A and B are shown apart, each in its own frame.
Chain A
């Protein structure tokens, strides 16, 4: 079974440009989360989808960030325009419906560098 996959693994862009990160969750996982880790600090919650609906987007830093999950499968996270402080590693995670063990399965992350 394929795990959570993220693309690209690393993106380097200039301030003001746009970047779109993609996440393919584990097949059958209704829950999809985006997290961000900046400068080796804690992994911070950005938002949570249940299928195609945004369950919680309280962690989104501002309106330069737009997440979508059309059809309840893969998700994209767009940053437009990117700022220097957006640099970090963006993790996607997925899990089964309901709580179960509560285990989140993480992707390897997309490292974003804004110059």
Chain B
């Protein structure tokens, strides 16, 4: 049973437009969420995070929105660039020391020039 879901396995967006990647979770104990980006043959790299006390966190072109009542978060990339083409993983954890992170299956984003 997947606790973190990313229902879109792939997404294609035109360069300069907005990319919206979605993530849903089932465990209401999750209180910390992260997005990772992964290029082929590389390990995932941290992109942005959000704590459950917030509903939005912004870092440059990347913004993460959290809707706790819907158990839903989204990552917005504006404007999208070809270098953003990668697999994006949503991850969640509870606020316990040493608790492991649960990852979603990933969404492959392709930004078309």
Contacts and interface: CB of A to CB of B under 8 A. Distances in A.
Interface of A: 4, 31, 33, 35, 40-45, 48, 50, 55-56, 58-59, 91, 93, 98-99, 101-109
Nearest to A43: B103
Contacts of A93: 43
Interface in B41-67: 41-46, 49
Contacts of A42: 2, 4, 89, 103-106
A91 B100 contact: no
Given A42-B4, A102-B32, A103-B49, A59 B42 contact: no
A93 B97 CA distance: 16
A102 B98 contact: no
Contacts of B89: 42-43
Contacts, number: 65
Given A41-B105, A102-B32, A107-B43, A33 B49 contact: no
A81 B42 CA distance: 27
Contacts of A106: 36, 43-45
A103 B34 contact: yes
Interface in B38-96: 41-46, 49, 89, 91, 93, 95
B62 to A, nearest CB: 14
A36 to B, nearest CB: 11
Contacts of B42: 108-109
A102 B100 contact: no
A45 B105 contact: no
Nearest to B104: A42
Contacts of A31: 98
B2 A103 contact: no
Nearest to B103: A43
A33 B42 CA distance: 17
B43 A109 contact: yes
A91 B105 contact: no
Contacts of B4: 42
